A and B are shown apart, each in its own frame.
Chain A
Amino acid sequence: MSMAQREQSERGWALEPHDADVRVCGWGPTPEAAFEQAAVALTRVVTDAPLAARERVDVHCQAPDRELLLVDWLNAVIYEMAVGGLLFGDYSVRLRGDRLEASLWGEPVDRARHAPACEPKGATYTALSVGRDRQGRWTAGCVVDV
């Protein structure tokens, strides 16, 4: 996605450069959409392949502020990827105060089809932000250790 396209799109995700790791970033009309898109970006750290919504996993987390909640959310996704051997392509996030509830849809890792590039180890507090951008869209992102 070019910078111009990114500026204009209502919702989307991006992977931003970091020396050794990568920053995942999502944006959308609501905080929930930004969180969902950040998780899509996290998936794209691993694979560019299309992903089927064959399995559903539900997660919840709680944190004192929205930034910490984003880190917890991405770490919950990383955990489910690692433990379940899954890759998720679709996310539905619900935010209630300091609590997040979400559903994740995906499929088991298929090494031939997905050709996974690298595995996220954990979401970090580096370059962590949740807020509105100049267009009024919600954005959410942080560096992920890979």
Chain B
Amino acid sequence: MDTSRLTRIDETSWQIEPSGAMRVPGIIYGDETLIRAMDDKVAEQTANVASLPGIVKGAYVMPDAHWGYGFPIGGVAAFDPNEGGVVSAGGVGFDVSCGVRTLLTGLTVPEVRRVQERLADALMSSIPAGVGSHSGITLQGREMDAMLRGGAAWAVEKGWGGAEDLARIEERGRMEGADPDCVSERAKKRQRREMGTLGSGNHYLEVQAVETLYDPDTAAVLGLAEGDVVVTIHCGSRGLGHQIGTEFLRDMLPAAAEAGIHLPDRELACAPIHSPIGERYLGAMRSAINCALANRQILGEFAREVFARFFPDHPLDLLYDVSHNTCKVETHTVDGRPRRLFVHRKGATRAFGPAHADLPEALRGVGQPVLIGGSMGTGSHILVGTGAGDKAFSSACHGAGRAMSRRAALKRWRGRQVVDELAERGILIRSPSMRGVAEEAPGAYKDVDQVVIAAERAGLARRVAHLRPLICVKG
């Protein structure tokens, strides 16, 4: 990115001054290296977001950002419904509520190393991963609607997991305001056989070692100790969310025009929150959030079943489950006044600080866990929200962020080579597609350590632990 267009605020904050149609500034977080590596399109898209009606304070960009469609991936923006604020399908994205959950195993690395190959194979055969995979679960009619209303709570009712899981999921496992009647039959049909599937691309299940603790006291509250093993699952709302994104992106184009909203980019398709289509989208999008929460709950239970075969005395307790692509109604203090805002996070994690009422009691002293996904080889991070200054409406980064296109990655690596090199480092990869592995090669991503350090320095969240992969089932 050309930094001459930006005003540097401090070491890790840069501002796009309001100009033209922009109603608020754009704020980009990251160190100079990360900012320079970002595409100029990120700044362009941030300025476009800043021009939408009803936007509050600023259009924010996380340190892992890259250009997406409409909103940058890693973009955060809040809208006030009482000031003509909008809800944007492009501001949420296609994979609604794509997110991460981490489960504690209570196992040590040597215990897992003893069965690592067999465990990897068992996970590969039990976790439906990649295009064309199925879990054997078929949902339709009333049961589909019940899932869309109930989220992870529905999954627990059906026997996938226990009630204690729900406290450790955003929204306590069930997003209020979901309306399955707002979800098209096509979207439901697309989801019919996709519950309990991981998906493909950058979605994965990883068995990880807790390698470094940055804050042992907070780690202890989260249940993490050095040398422990955890399981992390990254996936979303599958075909249902994709179809909702597709349909509302299209339907919001004429809706924006009818509402007199100028769209600098068609991907910013949006509608006033208080409009029939805006409310329909919220009913559908919240249903998709529940779909993702239910999906991760089922996949977590599949992982538990596999681990129980090897370690029957080690139930996998849920540490936490976060979503990345959402629009949620939250109260934030703006200019000293609490306001109910519609906060869009697209490729960003909610990062409430300590004492926030929405956190489970056990975590209220430390802040919301922020689970940062890795890229097979480079590791993952666990952070917690700081609440400091309610920066970016309490948001943090969500992953490493890609540094290289899939095509460029394919030219540079072969899947088998990636698998072999990682195996030499003690990381076992299982995937239905070697091409998929090459496209997702660790080197195709930004340096996740640099991203989380920038997030910490910017005060968005603070580091608790670094995780190193042992096994990765890649979708």
Q: Which residues of A contact B (CB under 8 A)?
A: 15-22, 46, 48, 68, 71-72, 75, 78-79, 82-83, 85, 108-111, 114-119, 121-126, 128, 143, 145-146
- Give the residue of B66, B69, B95, B246 whose beta carbon is less than 8 angstroms from that of A143: B69
Contacting residues, chain A, for B266 (C-beta < 8 A): 125, 128
B426 in the interface, Cβ–Cβ < 8 Å? no
| Cβ A122 vs Cβ B245 within 8 A | yes
Please indicate the chain A residues that have their CB under 8 angstroms from the CB of B436 in the complex.
116-118
**B186: A residues at CB distance < 8 A:** 79
- CB of A111 within 8 A of CB of B132, answer yes
Task: Tell me which residues across on chain A come within 8 A of B201, comparing CB atoms.
Answer: 118-119, 146
Chain B interface residues (CB < 8 Å from chain A) = 39, 66-70, 73, 93-95, 130-133, 186, 189-190, 192, 199-201, 239, 242-243, 245-246, 249-250, 253, 265-267, 269, 402, 405-408, 432-436, 439, 475
Given known contacts A114-B132, A117-B439, what 8 new A-B pairs fall within 8 Å (CB)? A83-B189, A115-B435, A118-B475, A119-B199, A121-B95, A124-B249, A126-B267, A145-B95
With both beta carbons as reference points, the residue of chain B lying nearest to A46 in the complex is identified as B131
- Assuming A19-B405, A115-B433, A122-B94, is B132 touching A85 (CB within 8 A)? yes
Tell me whether A82 and B239 are in contact (CB under 8 A). Answer: yes
A residues in contact with B95, CB < 8 Å: 121, 145
B69 touching A124 by the CB < 8 A rule?
yes
Whether A75 and B132, one on each chain, are in contact in the complex, defined by CB atoms closer than 8 angstroms, is no
Q: What separation, in Å, do the CA atoms of A68 and B443 have in the docked complex?
A: 35
Complex CA distance for A122 and B70, rounded to whole angstroms: 14
A142 to chain B, nearest CB (A): 9
Determine the distance from Cα of A125 to Cα of B249 in the docked complex, in whole angstroms. Answer: 9
Report yes or no: B250 in contact with A72, Cβ–Cβ below 8 A: yes
Least distance between B276 CB and chain A CB atoms (Å): 20
Q: Name the CB-closest residue of B to A112.
A: B432
A118 touches B66 (CB 8 A): no
A82 to B242, CA, bound (A): 10
A122 touches B66 (CB 8 A): no
Q: Known contacts being A79-B243, A116-B433, A146-B201, is A22 close to B69, with CB within 8 Å?
A: no
Per the bound structure, the CA–CA distance linking A118 and B203 in Å amounts to: 10
Among residues of A, the one whose C-beta sits closest to the C-beta of B67 is: A19
Q: How far is the CA of A81 from the CA of B151 in the complex (A)?
A: 26
Q: Please give the distance in Å from B255's CB to the nearest CB on chain A.
A: 14
Structural contact, A145 and B406, CB atoms closer than 8 A: no
A125 to B189, CA, bound (A): 24
Contact between B131 and A109 (Cβ–Cβ < 8 Å)?
yes
The answer to whether A121 and B245 touch across the interface, beta carbons within 8 angstroms, is: yes
Tell whether A125 pairs with B246 under 8 Å between CB atoms, given A20-B66, A20-B68.
Answer: no
Q: Which residues of A contact B39 (CB under 8 A)?
A: 19
| Residues of the B chain whose Cβ atoms lie less than 8 Å from the Cβ of A22 | 405-407
B250 touches A119 (CB 8 A): no
- Given known pairs A20-B402, A83-B190, the reply for A116 and B267 (CB within 8 Å) is no
- What separation, in Å, do the CA atoms of A68 and B266 have in the docked complex? 10
B433 touches which one: A17, A117, A128 (CB < 8 A)? A117
Q: Are B130 and A17 in contact (CB under 8 A)?
A: no
A19 contacts B435, CB within 8 Å? no
The reply to whether B405 and A17 contact each other, CB–CB distance below 8 Å, is yes
How many whole Å from A22's CB to the nearest CB in chain B?
6
Whether the pair A145, B69 counts as a contact (CB closer than 8 A) is yes
Contact call B200/A119, Cβ cutoff below 8 A: yes
Residue from A78, A79, A117, A125 with most neighbouring chain B CB atoms (10 Å) = A117
Q: Is B190's CB under 8 angstroms from A117's CB?
A: no
Question: Once the chains are docked, how many angstroms separate the CA of A123 from the CA of B94?
Answer: 10
Say how far A15's CB is from chain B's closest CB, in angstroms: 6
